[in-house]
């Protein structure tokens, strides 16, 4: 099987024009396989966005085939009629949502959830069992959406209404220097409740998930059960800085491969090699040497250092 350089698709022979049936066969794809309580977080979704931008932006969608209508929220015929002849002008991201900006002031909002994946193949490739949507493009390729669990969702809306969708209407600021200010955090963190579920709630800060919450709390020496409204302004300043820097660093490493994820060019995320606490239960803390422990917080596996991260009441 020969890959075209810098393209996310299979160059299939005439005798074998069938997409691979299992995620383990995907060589160049944008995919996640769930491991425990892991879901793609901001760095992984941003990696997907960057890959798709290079692969499909500028292409026109000739037609669409839908094999699981619940994914798109309308009939297959309606979705095809709405999408046909629209150009993919840009792909944005807000939190963990991909936003395909289409001609005609339309936006396709895509949430990958557990195992959603996009990849391109030569036109006329037979879809695999879990390839639920095919976008036929004008460059001789098809864009497949694969989702083994069928949890992902797509919503086609007028661009002006995109931020009114459930999940986006109340989403918090992006974790950047410009948008996540200390003043905002001081005000937002006046609310009660343990800090870990507080950070997992996308209405406070966009894009954080289990991996990077554990990492940034360890970096900031904050216990995952510490009430949000008891964290000092100085601690919030440290936490803010760690959130911004850690997510930016993870994005540059193409995200974390604790599940089988590769970006648009067949490169696995490399940030799993940089993790300091997540997935290291029973190993020594890299700061003090104390054995890391794991517990459940908000029904999520949570690893922390009992010496560095002391619960203060």
> Does the annotation count 300 as an active-site position?
yes
> Does the annotation count 93 as an active-site position?
no
**pLDDT at residue 12, rounded to an integer:** 34
Bridge-partner residues for 131, per DSSP? 146
Q: What is the residue-level pLDDT of the chain in tens, covering all 313 positions?
A: 333 323 333 333 333 455 544 333 332 334 333 334 456 788 889 989 999 999 999 999 999 999 999 999 999 999 999 999 999 999 999 999 999 999 999 999 999 988 898 999 999 899 999 999 999 999 999 999 999 999 999 999 999 999 999 999 999 999 999 999 999 999 999 999 999 999 999 999 999 999 999 999 999 999 999 999 999 999 999 999 999 999 998 888 766 544 434 444 444 444 456 789 998 999 999 999 999 999 999 999 999 999 999 999 8
Q: What is the 3-state secondary structure (H, E, C) of the chain?
A: CECCCCCCCCECCHHHCECCCCHHHCCCCECCCCCCCCCCCHHHHHHHHHHHHHHHCCCEEEEEEECCHHHCCCCHHHHHHHHCCEEEEEEEEECCEEEEEECCCEEEEEECCCCCEEEEEECCCECCCCEEEEEEECCCEEEEEECCCCCCEEEEEEHHHHHHCCCCCCCCCCCCCCCCCHHHHHHHCCCCCEHHHHHHCCCCCCCCCHHHHHHHHHHCCCCCCCEHHHCCHHHHHHHHHHHHHHHHHHHHCCCCCCCCCECCCCCECCHHHCCCCCCCCCCECCCCCCECEEEEECCEEEEECCCCCCCCC
d(CA 125, CA 258): 30
**pLDDT at residue 41, rounded to an integer:** 84
**pLDDT at residue 135, rounded to an integer:** 98
Burial group, residue 48, by CB count within 10 angstroms (0-12, 13-18, 19+) = buried
Tell me the two tokens of residue 117. Answer: 């994946």
> Does the annotation count 267 as an active-site position?
no
d(CA 91, CA 45): 12
Bridge-partner residues for 301, per DSSP? 296
Identified catalytic residue from 20, 40, 43, 127? 40
Cβ neighbours for 17, distance < 8 A, ≥ 6 positions apart: 122, 124, 125, 126
Identified catalytic residue from 20, 28, 41, 153? 41
> Does the annotation count 177 as an active-site position?
no
**pLDDT at residue 14, rounded to an integer:** 35
**pLDDT at residue 11, rounded to an integer:** 32
Identified catalytic residue from 49, 96, 146, 153? 96
């Amino acid at each position: 099987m020969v890959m075209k350089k810098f393209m996310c698709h299979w160059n299939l022979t005439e005798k074998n024009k069938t997409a691979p049936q299992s995620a383990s066969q995907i060589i160049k794809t944008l995919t996640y396989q769930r491991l425990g309580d892991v879901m793609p977080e901001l760095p992984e979704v941003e990696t997907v966005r960057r890959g798709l931008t290079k692969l499909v932006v500028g292409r026109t969608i000739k037609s669409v085939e839908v094999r699981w209508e619940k994914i798109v929220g309308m009939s297959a015929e309606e979705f095809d009629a709405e999408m046909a002849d629209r150009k993919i002008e840009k792909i944005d991201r807000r939190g963990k949502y991909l936003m395909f900006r289409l001609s005609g002031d339309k936006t396709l909002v895509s949430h990958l959830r557990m195992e959603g994946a996009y990849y391109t193949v030569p036109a006329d490739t037979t879809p695999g069992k879990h390839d639920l949507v095919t976008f036929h493009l004008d460059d001789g390729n098809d864009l497949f959406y694969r989702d083994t669990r069928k949890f992902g969702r797509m919503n086609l809306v007028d661009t002006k209404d995109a931020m009114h969708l459930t999940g986006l209407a109340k989403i918090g600021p992006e974790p950047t220097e410009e948008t996540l200010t200390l003043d905002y955090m001081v005000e937002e963190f006046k609310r009660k409740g343990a800090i870990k579920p507080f950070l997992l709630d996308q209405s406070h800060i966009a894009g954080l998930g289990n991996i990077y919450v554990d990492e940034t709390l360890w970096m900031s020496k904050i216990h995952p059960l510490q009430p949000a409204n008891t964290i000092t302004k100085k601690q919030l300043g440290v936490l803010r800085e760690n959130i911004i820097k850690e997510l930016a660093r993870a994005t540059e490493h193409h995200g974390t491969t604790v599940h089988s994820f590769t970006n648009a060019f067949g490169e696995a995320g490399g940030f799993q090699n940089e993790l300091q606490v997540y997935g290291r239960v029973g190993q020594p803390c890299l700061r003090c040497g104390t054995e890391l422990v794991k517990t459940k917080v908000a029904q999520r596996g949570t690893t922390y250092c009992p010496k560095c991260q002391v619960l203060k009441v």
